[in-house]
Amino acid sequence: MGVNALWISAPFEQIHGWVGGGTKGDFPHYAYHGYYTQDWTNLDANMGNEADLRTLVDSAHQRGIRILFDVVMNHTGYATLADMQEYQFGALYLSGDEVKKSLGERWSDWKPAAGQTWHSFNDYINFSDKTGWDKWWGKNWIRTDIGDYDNPGFDDLTMSLAFLPDIKTESTTASGLPVFYKNKMDTHAKAIDGYTPRDYLTHWLSQWVRDYGIDGFRVDTAKHVELPAWQQLKTEASAALREWKKANPDKALDDKPFWMTGEAWGHGVMQSDYYRHGFDAMINFDYQEQAAKAVDCLAQMDTTWQQMAEKLQGFNVLSYLSSHDTRLFREGATKQQSYYY
């Protein structure tokens, strides 16, 4: 097949339950994509268990295939009814028997009634209750418009992307573990003196490399996190892979180092500062539209390939035809073909 690497969705434990999906709230939206992480030390149950992961990695390595994880350090996931009930954070406008009457025994079983949408569950939540929301991540960890947390900013590094809680990866203040982890009995997270949110995240992510021999990361939302944070992740993950290969010489493919690529929206073929802060390649967002020319005539790609060959001197980019960040290539190709009829 010519496949030498598998990039898999972030396998870490996601928020439980659902949030309202779409602008109209016409469906329940689950964190199937891996971008709403709430515990970087656990596998998400929907991805399988640790034995499954080890089998995947070992089987791939036996076939000369490397494994890359998608990883997120910029944000966590939204607050859900399921997590509020299970981990005892947040606050409702309901009390006593009203809770069971409106939400049911298990809050995540709630469904919109006539005149409601899947966004309507928010109407039951008191997002202003400072005491209740202090029991969530804690002010040392995130910024959000909820409760008494610091408000998000308006720049790439401090904004709330899609209204998601923004992790304070720039903080130099020791944070302790997320507050709600006190009620999360299955977490493997251990408090480490002096650690900041960035320190915890890079430590937790690198541990997967150390335990399983993960070969690389595809970094999500790279432009929304400080460059030194990515260098720290690359340094720690690289050390972890060296340790794993030394401890597992019979499983190691070779002595190649840890590899990291990043998604920074709109990045093209250029050697930006990301390459000086841990990244071996960046996703080339220009290529999909350029490659659409080949639908009509492959020879029209000659100019694109020539330009890439001239620009790619001493660095690399990751170019692909289809991306979940944009659209499927065949959709663009079908649209382009329709112009001729």
The residues carrying an active-site annotation are 220, 263
Q: For residue 66, which phi and psi values (nearest 5 degrees)? A: -90, 155
Strands (E) in 204-258, as ranges, are 216-219
Residue holding tokens 């199937």?
Answer: 32
How do beta strands 5-8 and 12-14 pair?
unpaired
- The structure tokens listed for 286 are 């220009």
Helix orientation angle between 50-62 and 197-212, rounded to the nearest 10 degrees: 60
* Residue 67 and residue 56 in contact, taking contact as beta carbons nearer than 8 Å: yes
* Residue 32 and residue 8 in contact, taking contact as beta carbons nearer than 8 Å: no
* Residue 245 and residue 262 in contact, taking contact as beta carbons nearer than 8 Å: no
* Residue 9 and residue 34 in contact, taking contact as beta carbons nearer than 8 Å: yes
Q: Which amino acid is at 187?
A: T
Q: Rounded CA gap, 210 and 202, in Å?
A: 12
* Residue 43 and residue 67 in contact, taking contact as beta carbons nearer than 8 Å: no
Q: Which amino acid is at 124?
A: Y
How many separate helices (H) and strands (E) can be counted in the chain? Answer: 9, 12
- The structure tokens listed for 261 are 């690529």
* Residue 148 and residue 134 in contact, taking contact as beta carbons nearer than 8 Å: yes
